[in-house]
Amino acid sequence: MFFCLLLLAFVAASSVCAASTNSSGLIFGYYYIVTAEDGGAVQYTNNDDGEYTLEWTNNSGSFVAGAGYDPGSAQTIRFGSFEVAGSSYLSIYGWTTNPLVEYHILEQNYGGNDPPVGLTWKGNLTSDSSVYDIYETEIVHKQSILGVTNFKQYWSIRQDLRSDGLVTTGNHFSAWAAVGMPLGTFNYQIVAAEGFASSVNGSLTNAVESPPAGPVRQFSCLVQAHI
């Protein structure tokens, strides 16, 4: 049996919202989304003291869970500590339309689960104290935000992996455009925990720091899962 808990800490309130395995919505201005394979039952709960829980069971496939913004933008995002046992990614994850693009800015990779095969290396960039390798691939006849179709997938993969810090997304978007990887109109953009069919126990919480110059959007969330 597969169990997952997503805890988001914002402001005090209390409500319960049952949802399907693939669910999304807005909580006090923050967008959340959870997608999971194999049809596990899901319930999203907004607890007292600003805690939000998301649970699902009977799911042996992979999942993506996170919170952020809809639409996204070329913004700076701060994320906090992320600790996990098993195969999972920590990334800035999102979509654009026209062109239809799924993108990942990969910050941490637990369990050595490699990104998809068939990636084409396009170059690199330096941002937020590390070099990132840039990759592109074409995804054929897979699920997207527009249904089953073909779309591009972009990756920036950090060489010096980390579990907290700031991500200057605009640096990546500019570097992608410079190597022929344009984005379109922003859809959602989240700090995502991506788990795979393995034992996963993790947390993602916002660090309390003085923000740097310029706009920084902050949120907190906890992701835990295990088989």
Alpha-carbon distance of 190 to 211, in angstroms, equals 19
Q: How far from 91 is each of 58, 162, 219, CA to CA, in Å?
A: 25, 10, 15
* Catalytic, out of 37, 55, 194, 209: 194
Cis peptide, bond prior to residue 211, ω within 30 of zero = no
β 147-158/130-144 pair status: antiparallel
194 is catalytic: yes
- 114 Cβ neighbours under 8 A, 6+ residues apart: none
Rg of the chain taking only CA atoms, in angstroms: 17
* Catalytic, out of 37, 55, 102, 136: 102
Alpha-carbon distance of 141 to 151, in angstroms, equals 8
- The DSSP letter of residue 50 is G
- The DSSP letter of residue 213 is S
| Sign (positive or negative) of CA dihedral 70, 76, 80, 83 | positive
Phi, psi of 60 (to 5 degrees): -105, 5
51 is catalytic: no
Residues marked active site are found at 102, 194
